[in-house]
Amino acid sequence: MTLQELIAQCKKQDAKAQEALYREYSGILFGICLKYSPNRVEAEDSLQDAFITIFRRIEQFEGKGSFEGWIKRITVNTVLQKYRKKKLYDIPNEQQIEEAEEEVTAETVPLDFLLKIVQELPDRYRLVFNLYVLDGYSHKEISELLGISDGTSKSNLARARAILKTKVELYHHKDS
């Protein structure tokens, strides 16, 4: 069955088609949920919520643009929606806005360690870090997505980078 046929069947609320769509995209979307969630359990909950939204809104997908891009956007928004109502964001401090641009690569630090420390960041920092660094959103886009100011987005990114830099430095000193 082609993707278009699968989508058409999902629009008719066909359970087998929905299951096939879930099997096809759950791995990719779970990775997104895990990236924005503080732990695996919350990521699993967000994945289920995202699929509920996808199936509820699939009628709105008109075949224009990428279906995968459409479901990824829904997934990101589903995860972020959990954090929008919480008071997660710091008031920007001009001194925090200076960004430390130090490259960290998989050659200097194991990827599993990097993923672990990013996931350990406080929600407000992890969300902004992932949106800006990993997904390429601008501070303006982040501010709109999260309902914060550009300055708060910049401040939270700078703080996330500072925390990660400290943890990477500790990792390097541990091995010395």
Asked if the model's pLDDT at residue 100 lies above 50, the reply is no
List, for residues 120-135, the tens digit of each pLDDT value. Answer: 899 889 999 999 988 8
Least Cα distance to 145 among 92, 79, 90 occurs for: 79
Range of the domain at 62: 3-84
Residue 61 belongs to domain with CATH number = 1.10.1740.10
DSSP-assigned letters across all residues of 117-135: HHHHS-HHHHHHHIIIIIT
C-alpha angle 145-50-114 in degrees, rounded to nearest 5: 70
Q: Are 78 and 123 contained in the same domain?
A: no
* Over residues 138-166, mean pLDDT: 91
Which helix (H) or strand (E) segment holds residue 173: the answer is: helix 150-175
Looking at mean pLDDT, say which of 55-59, 76-80, 89-93, 145-149 comes out highest.
Answer: 55-59
Token couple for 66: 């990428």
Residues 118 and 170 in one domain: yes
pLDDT confidence bin for 86, thresholds 50/70/90: low
Provide mean pLDDT across the span 145-150: 89
Confidence category of residue 64, pLDDT binned at 50, 70, 90: confident
Helix (H) or strand (E) segment spanning residue 21: helix 15-36
Q: Is there a single domain that holds both residue 121 and residue 163?
A: yes
Q: What is the pLDDT of residue 45?
A: 94
Q: Are residues 18 and 79 in the same domain?
A: yes
pLDDT at 96 over 60: no
In a shared domain, residues 12 and 79:
yes
